Structure 1
Amino acid sequence: MIDLDPALRPWVDGAPAAWDVREAVRVAEDIAAVRSVGVDWEPGDEEWVHVVDERILAQISKFFPLALVLGDDLAEVFRSRHAEVTTVVITAADAEELRASPDLLQRTVLSAGWSDEFNPEQFSALDLFLESV
């Protein structure tokens, strides 16, 4: 199980002033260009920007410098090109391998709360994306 608490805790009082949706999209576009893949994001509704090929390779928050990244090799690209982004390695976007304290989720990435189906003790990056839409 991957504990997101250490990644979320720094942003309980808000994200760095330099981080916003434009920065999240810029990082996603840069990573996508390096890997010759695409970016998937719908302005307005979606709180996460995806770097994609036929699957989600990375999920970047538009509110916090946080990326959930498929595999160590792509994580290394993030870390070398965008050290300001906290990078959490996942095995798949739909792998229920993440957990986080409800208080930290509420105060950061899921400020509007979540559905009864969402379990803070075991969820996937895709679950996090769906709950934030």
Structure 2
Amino acid sequence: MQVAESVAAERSLHVQWEPGDEEWVHVVDRRIVCQISKRLPLALVVGDDLAGVIRRSHPRVAVVVISDPDVDELRGSTDVLRRTLLPYGWTDEFDPEAFSALDLFLETT
């Protein structure tokens, strides 16, 4: 949460999340520009500019640059996904070979 709040403050953006059941925090302007894990030091970030802000201010956070939160441009091995982001598994619609940041968000809520 601290990472999201500092990034939002630096860029005059807003933090959006539901306490309790969501494992991701969103930093938004009119759309999601960053999705930050509450469990792992990981941020999925739209664009290099904002990614640079996170890398400079939070060097321990792994940053993955994405083109859009709804584009299926991410992939991960089933073993790594089970051990990290999706320990409870996923629905039949989720494809580990091609998923989006929003897919991860939906699979963990």
Q: Shorter-chain TM-score: what band?
A: over 0.9
Task: Give the TM-score normalised by the residue count of structure 2.
Answer: 0.99
Deviation at 1:43, TM superposition (A): 0.9
State the match for 2:84 in structure 1. Answer: 108
1:49 partnered with 2:29: no
Distance 1:84 1:108 in 2: 17
Q: Name which of 85, 95, 99 aligns with 2:61.
A: 85
Distance 1:80 1:61 in 2: 18
Consecutive aligned runs of 4 or more in structure 1 exceeding 2 Å deviation: none
Percent identity for Structure 1 against Structure 2? 64
Distance 1:48 1:113 in 2: 16
Structure ranking higher on relative contact order (CA contacts 8 Å, 6+ apart): 1
Aligned positions, number: 109
State the match for 2:94 in structure 1. Answer: 118
Q: Give the alignment's Cα RMSD to 1 decimal.
A: 0.5
Give runs of aligned pairs for residues 61-76 of structure 1, distance below 5 A.
61-76=37-52
* Structure 2 segments unaligned to the other structure (5+ residues): none
Q: Name which of 31, 42, 65 aligns with 2:7.
A: 31
* Structure 1 segments unaligned to the other structure (5+ residues): 1-24
The structure carrying a bigger helix percent of its residues is 1
Distance 1:50 1:92 in 2: 13
1:131 partnered with 2:107: yes
Q: Which amino acid aligns with 1:84?
A: R
